[in-house]
């Protein structure tokens, strides 16, 4: 998270509750690091919702899989502060050191474990 916040190519945004960060099918342009607040990701085709809180990264899967368009909508559930980093700069961070890759694997493990133990299709 700190690596993205401090990266010279990062863009910082502050948005009020209810703001749409991006819509499904919009072009993927960045990874999002949530500095403050809650963001909910939804998809009209799936009933599940995902919520991300401060200190988490979201939408790296679309970025890494080289998808051209987002697969979900993202909405601010509370006022949010975000740091955005474009694909090339994010991949550069991963190549410079394993820290961010290890962090992402750890977060994914925690989310999968929560889902398995609670049989939930969303996280709060």
CATH of the domain at 84: 2.60.120.10
- Whether the per-residue pLDDT at 122 is higher than 60: the answer is no
Instruction: Report, as an integer, the average pLDDT of 80-94.
Output: 89
Q: What is the CA radius of gyration of the chain?
A: 14
Residue 75 in any domain: the answer is yes
Is position 124 within any domain?
no
User: Averaged over 70-90, what is the pLDDT?
Assistant: 92
The C-alpha atoms of residue 70 and residue 54 are separated, in whole angstroms, by: 21
Residue 30 inside a domain? The answer is yes
What pLDDT does residue 15 have?
98
> pLDDT band at residue 124, thresholds of 50, 70 and 90?
very low
Predicted pLDDT of residue 3: 81
Supply the range of the domain harboring residue 82.
2-118
Q: How many domains does the chain have?
A: 1
CB burial of residue 70 (10 Å; 0-12, 13-18, 19+): buried
Tokens 């209810």 correspond to 18
Higher pLDDT, 76 or 46: 76
């Amino acid at each position: 998270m700190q690596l993205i916040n401090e990266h010279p190519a990062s863009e910082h945004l502050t948005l009020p509750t209810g703001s749409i960060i991006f819509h499904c099918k919009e072009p993927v342009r960045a990874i999002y690091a949530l500095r403050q607040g809650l963001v909910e990701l939804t998809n009209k085709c799936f009933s599940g919702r995902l919520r991300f809180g401060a200190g988490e990264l979201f939408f790296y899967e679309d970025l890494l899989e080289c998808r051209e368009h987002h697969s979900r909508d993202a909405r601010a559930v509370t006022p949010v502060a975000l740091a955005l980093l474009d694909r090339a700069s994010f991949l550069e961070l991963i190549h410079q050191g394993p820290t961010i890759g290890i962090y992402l694997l750890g977060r994914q493990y925690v989310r999968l474990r929560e889902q398995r133990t609670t049989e939930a299709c969303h996280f709060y």
